[in-house]
Amino acid sequence: MRAFKRWLDRSLTAQAVLICLLGTGITALFRRNEHPVVWVIQGVLYAAIAIAFVAVQRRKAGRAAGTDARGVAELNRKIRHREVPKDPDERASMRRLVTAHLGQMERGRRLLPFWLGAMGLVAAGMLVLGAATGSLIFPLVFGGGLIAFCCWALWMRRRSLDRCRYMRASLQS
């Protein structure tokens, strides 16, 4: 499993295939009456959009750290495992990457209440629509899933901030 996770972390092609398969499957679940070719086309479209965003983000992180995409993936793995590198060049790259991550999270902190409020409005709107149509099961499940997603996102943000702050302190000493 660890090798599979590392392969997914490093390979854009593997990520594209996984996103395409998941997008096709989810589209098939929600649009059963359409032709299967439409499912595949939509899955490929979802994968292309997602991979474009990931590629731009990787390129941006690579420029910030002064390394290539594989180097960024390895540095991110070391940040997750709290491994401080011994090599001075790698330490400098990691220091730049950690600074970029912290800056990005601090900029995102200003928009976080607005995103959470928008998610709350979507959940409340789904509940109102469900009450108006008489079907509350889907809106309740959707609202619960949205709340769980928001809690997970906040928890992951806090963990990432803790890891980056730990690495910044470790790299400065």
pLDDT tens for each residue of 91-137:
999 999 999 999 989 998 999 999 999 999 999 999 898 888 888 88
- Tell whether the model's pLDDT for residue 173 goes beyond 80: no
5 and 60 within one domain: yes
Structure token pair of residue 170: 């470790």
- When divided into structural domains, the chain yields a total of 2
How sure is the predictor about 61, in pLDDT bands with cuts at 50, 70 and 90?
A: confident
For the residues of 84-151, what is the DSSP string, one character each? PP-SHHHHHHHHHHHHHHHHHHHHHHHHHHHHHHHHHHHHHHHHHHHHHHT--HHHHHHHHHHHHHHH
Interval 72-88 mean pLDDT: 89
Angle at 153 between CA 147 and CA 159, to 5 degrees: 140
Q: Are 57 and 127 in the same domain?
A: no
Structure tokens at 54: 């990931």
Q: What is the DSSP letter of 147?
A: H
pTM: 0.76
81, 167 contact by CB (below 8 A): no
The two three-digit tokens of residue 63, written as one number: 């420029």
pLDDT at 53 over 90: yes
Count of all residues that appear for the chain in the document: 173
**126 and 74 share one domain:** yes
Q: With contact defined as beta carbons under 8 Å apart, do 39 and 31 qualify?
A: yes
**Single residue among 47, 65, 83 that ends a domain in this structure:** 65
